[in-house]
A and B are shown apart, each in its own frame.
Chain A
Amino acid sequence: MSEPLIRFRDVDFSYGPDRPVLCGCNFQLAAGQRVALVGPNGSGKTTLLHLVVGLLEPDAGRIEAFGQVRRSQHDFHEVRRRAGLLFQDADDQLFCPTVAEDVAFGPLNLGKPRGQIRRIVAETLDSLGLAGYEHRITYRLSGGEKRLVALAAVLAMQPDVLLLDEPASGLDERATDRLAEILAGLPQAMVVVSHDRGFLERTTAETLRLCDGRVETAA
């Protein structure tokens, strides 16, 4: 097996002394691997995703991503480009007035030329069935549309790994079906956090369970 894209080695993390979350957590994700991450509320699923992209810092242990150990915020700049995190609440992620600007935000930060960005925006929206949404106002979109635009914004960074935090929550059946279909067709390695078994079965190939601060392979 090739070098994993992401690897946690004995990672500890707590939100203060009375709220330990991860404890000696080991976890890895290889290229093309599609993993469902399950566990009770508050077991640290979101925390784990935030640790991957350096939004949180571990108390102990080591986080390796894309072949390097990542410690400082500077190390994580590259990780954030290559690992796209989809937030639980799309309203947190879509802050630009129009869809096109929001999708372009990541590529603009990466300093890509404008012509190329316009192409990326058009292609990304098109691939998600959102062609023609460029000039829609983000906060007037429906919940399902917001989720897809947020996904487009993540995909526009052209990441190698997708970290999806409850991507199907709050969506109706049709929107969930559409999202599952899109995710199943994406080539990236992904970690999907969800409580929806049906959704996970359609989008992922294996299941990991977070339990007592550790990741276990679920039976």
Chain B
Amino acid sequence: MIRHASPFAPVHARSAFVGRVDPRLRIVAAVALSVLVALADRFAVLGSALAVSVLGLALSGLPWRVVLRRLLPLNAVMLLLLLVLPLTSGGTPWGRLGPLEFSWEGLWLGVAIALKGNAIVLVLLALLGSVDATTLGHALSHLRVPDKLTHLLLFTVRYLDVLHREYLRLRAAMKVRGFRPRMNRHTYRTFGYLVGMLLVRSFDRSERIAAAMKCRGFRGRFYMLDHFVFSRRDVPFGLTSLAVLLVLALMEWT
């Protein structure tokens, strides 16, 4: 069991219905729903998917403020698309502004993309937002995602903080000697040195880590200590997800 071993996950998300479902199942459901939404064209399907994802989000117990903050950059891009697509895609015009002509087709295309984008992000947030990176890595590896990719994820999680601290130490060392970033060559060169130094140090560290792993008998294969187990709790979630997928697929392709 690994579920209780995830201090990154928000506490309030734990008690919620989605938070206790096997992460593997959540990954499969989220990916399946995302693929379906990406392929779908009908507005009824896209709208329903968005509604389902909002519902899922409510069940996941993630705080709305966090969700809204994550949606903001996505919808900034979507707004841009909504402005540009009616101008560029051509078709039946619905309005004009001087020499510019807005088309219905472009507008609907923009709306469809915005719906798709939001539905997918919300589904991923609802189902995987409360999974910490460590559990996600393990779950992916149990789902037969190639070892190299999951190791990359796990090592990134583990050493991001170490590298960040290294960066902060270097920055502090620069600061105490009076460095203040400005728009000049000295600044560019100094940041170049900083990045270069970080790369060199990271490389050295990776060598030392590899040596430490060798010392403990590592020969290129990872073994997992923890195993996930399906429980009865996972059945309603699995069945609900399957039903939603089927209904959406039927709506789209019949």
Footprint of B on A, CB under 8 Å? 50, 53, 55, 77, 80-81, 84-85, 87, 89, 91-93, 95-98, 100-101, 104-106, 108-110, 114, 117-118, 135, 137-140, 153-154, 157
Whether the Cβ atoms of A87 and B217 lie closer than 8 Å is no
Q: Which 4 A-B pairs have the closest CB atoms?
A: A109-B217, A106-B216, A108-B223, A97-B134
Number of interface residues of B (CB under 8 A): 28
B158 at the interface (CB under 8 A from A): yes
B7 touches A137 (CB 8 A): yes
A122 to B: closest C-beta gap in Å: 12
Contacts of A101 in B (CB 8 A): 225-226
Chain A CB within 10 A, most for which of B4, B158, B159, B218: B158
Interface assignment of B175: CB less than 8 Å from any CB of chain A? no
Q: Which residues of B contact A87 (CB under 8 A)?
A: 208, 211-212
Q: How far is the CB of B117 from chain A (nearest CB, A)?
A: 31
Proximity string of chain B (42-83) to chain A, C-beta cutoff 8 Å, 1 when within and 0 when not: 000000000000000000000000000000000000000000
> Closest CB of chain B to A192's CB: distance in Å?
17
B215 contacts partner chain A, Cβ-Cβ < 8 Å: yes
Q: Does B213 contact A (CB under 8 A)?
A: yes
Residues of chain B within 8 A (CB-CB) of A140 are: 7
> How distant is the Cα of A92 from the Cα of B157 in the complex, in angstroms?
14
* Residue pair A77, B225 in contact (C-beta under 8 Å): no
Q: Which residue of B lies closest to A139 (CB)?
A: B161
Measured CB to CB, the residues of B under 8 A from A are 4-5, 7-8, 134, 137, 154-155, 157-159, 161-162, 205, 208-209, 211-219, 223, 225-226
Contact B158 A84 (CB under 8 A): no
> Which chain A positions have C-beta within 8 A of B8?
137
B138 CB to nearest A CB, Å: 9
Cβ-defined contact, B211 with A139, below 8 A: no
The reply to whether B211 and A109 form a contact with Cβ atoms under 8 Å apart is: no
Q: How far is the CA of A104 from the CA of B162 in the complex (A)?
A: 22
Bound Cα distance from A192 to B78, whole angstroms: 61
Complex CA gap A50/B214 in Å reads 11
Asked if B208 and A80 make an inter-chain contact with CB atoms under 8 angstroms apart, the answer reads no
Q: List 26 A-B contacts (CB under 8 A).
A: A50-B211, A55-B215, A80-B215, A80-B216, A87-B208, A87-B211, A92-B205, A92-B209, A92-B211, A92-B212, A95-B158, A95-B159, A96-B158, A97-B134, A98-B134, A104-B225, A105-B216, A108-B225, A109-B216, A110-B217, A114-B225, A117-B225, A139-B161, A140-B7, A154-B216, A157-B217
Q: Which residues of B contact A100 (CB under 8 A)?
A: 225
Contacts of B216 in A (CB 8 A): 80, 105-106, 109, 153-154, 157
Q: Write the nearest CB–CB distance from A178 to chain B, whole angstroms.
A: 22
Residues of A near B213 (CB, < 8 A) are 95, 105
A118 to chain B, nearest CB (A): 8
Given known A91-B162, A117-B225, contact A109–B208 (CB-CB < 8 A): no
In the bound assembly, the distance between CA atoms of A117 and B216 in angstroms comes to: 14
Complex Cα distance, B161 from A55, in Å, reads: 27
User: Are B208 and A98 in contact (CB-based, < 8 A)?
Assistant: no
Contact between chains at A89 and B158 (CB < 8 Å): no
Q: Shortest Cβ distance from A86 into chain B, in angstroms?
A: 9
User: Which chain A positions have C-beta within 8 A of B161?
Assistant: 139
Q: How far is B225's CA from A109's CA once the two chains are assembled, in angstroms?
A: 11
Question: Given the complex, which residues of B lie within 8 Å of A139, measured CB to CB?
Answer: 158, 161-162
With A80-B214, A135-B4, A140-B7 given, can you name 4 additional A-B contacts, CB distance below 8 Å? A92-B212, A138-B158, A139-B158, A157-B216
Closest to B134 in A: A97
Report which residue of A77, A92, A110, A135 has the largest number of chain B beta carbons within 10 angstroms of its beta carbon: A92
The answer to whether B218 and A55 have CB atoms under 8 Å apart is no
Q: How far is the CA of A96 from the CA of B157 in the complex (A)?
A: 10
In the complex, chain A residues whose CB is within 8 Å of the CB of B205:
91-92
The docked-state distance in angstroms from the alpha carbon of A140 to that of B155 is 15
The docked-state distance in angstroms from the alpha carbon of A87 to that of B219 is: 19
